[in-house]
Amino acid sequence: MKIELEKIRKFLPETGEVAIVGMVRDPDAGFSVTAAHHVWLDLDRPDLLDYIEGAVEALQARGATDFYWTPAAFEFEAGVPKRRNAAMAKAWRCFYADLDAHGGDDGYANPRAALEHLFEVCQQVNLMPSCVVFTGRGVQAIWGFDQDLSVTRWRVAADDIWTVLSHYGLKMDPACRQDRARVIRLPGTTNSVAGAQARVVYEGDLIYIPRRMVRYLQVFMTQRGIMPPPEPKAPVARAASDDGTVFDCETNRKTLEFLLDKIPSSFTGRKANNSNGAVDPKSGYERWRDVVWAAKRTGLPNAWSVVYDWAHKAAREYDDLDEALTRTWDSDNAGAANAIGPGTLVMTARQFCRRKADVSALQRAHFINHGEAVLRGEALPDERVDWWGHQIVRDEQGEVA
């Protein structure tokens, strides 16, 4: 088995870590995957290709028969287990399309038909791939970039490439655009299901400048009336905590919006103000989760819509954002005894706000109580509650108990 490593090196990002993945398949169970082993490699290694070859050998020793690599480079926070998770994928140097060609309804009758249609469409839109790999049961087309792309920039390029090629009928696996942690087969290794060796069948000279490519594709789509993929629809509104701790009034609803506007939608790579470089004891996800829970615990009727809009500012960083946001919201136990509450939003906004002009406003920001709402004319005096909005309990004679 001779791995064609030199043909994929130019598609690997310059920094971060990539995974070489070995799949263990059971031939007695329809070649279903029984295990997936990962070897993580630092892209800064000068002898990276030798280490990739060594990783494949190590995975073979663990029973793996099929081998893949991650086009994405990953970054991991200190103390966080290394997992091939889309949220940890940070840089790309290519986009690829997977064309199934084993007779399925959503693919092609055979690899030759897939390859011919790929070239036909790419020539029609003037977007030839940099490399094409025969995988044993299909083909994978790769468009290389001359620089590493961040999550946001990669999603823009990926969406535009996908939109144009799919408009002209190219049958691509949609997971290539949606799953940023996806793996692709190493050329030169064997596809155990097909009993064939994966190999590079086309290698062009084109390496694209992302900015120029995106500009070209957007003009191309505009001139031909090609519509981009629709934005995801917001899920059904969800109720806030039944025992919310914030008095419902217009000021507090606006305060919630103000605070969420100052809190980053993604904490990846963000450090708190005055941290002096210290490692944050909480992971980026834990910070994100606490914001969602804290907003829910306000009990305000606009909490869900505000959190939804806040989270979707970083929508391009997460493939399953709607599902993750809904799951996190529903997993909160508002009655649990912990320190997460409306004050969490105030403190987080102060810790992570980057605009000096907002610092003084955040120092004054707080959720007002019932008494303050009365003074502001946003609530009527109520003898059943005290200044803080707590219910006043009276005995049979009407005296305060």
**Residue 298 structure tokens:** 């306000």
Q: Residue 387 has what pLDDT?
A: 45
391: DSSP letter: B
Rounded CA separation 401/397 (Å): 10
Rounded CA separation 304/241 (Å): 10
Average pLDDT per consecutive 10 residues, the chain (401 residues; last block may be shorter): 87 95 84 87 92 95 95 83 80 94 83 96 97 94 96 90 95 82 92 92 94 96 85 57 71 89 81 62 82 90 88 71 82 66 89 78 81 68 50 50 47
pTM of the full predicted structure? 0.64
Distances (CA, A) of 117 to 101, 120, 133, 171, 265: 11, 5, 15, 9, 41
Strands 32-42 and 17-26, by their bridges, are: antiparallel
Topology adopted by domain 5-224: DNA primase, PRIM domain (3.90.920)
Nearest to 165 by CA among 154, 176, 149: 176
Q: Residue 109 has what pLDDT?
A: 92
Domain boundaries, the chain: 5-224, 250-368
Cβ contacts of 86 within 8 Å, gap of 6 or more: 179, 180, 181, 318, 319, 320
Q: Residue 266 has what pLDDT?
A: 81
Q: Residue 237 has what pLDDT?
A: 57
SS3 20: strand
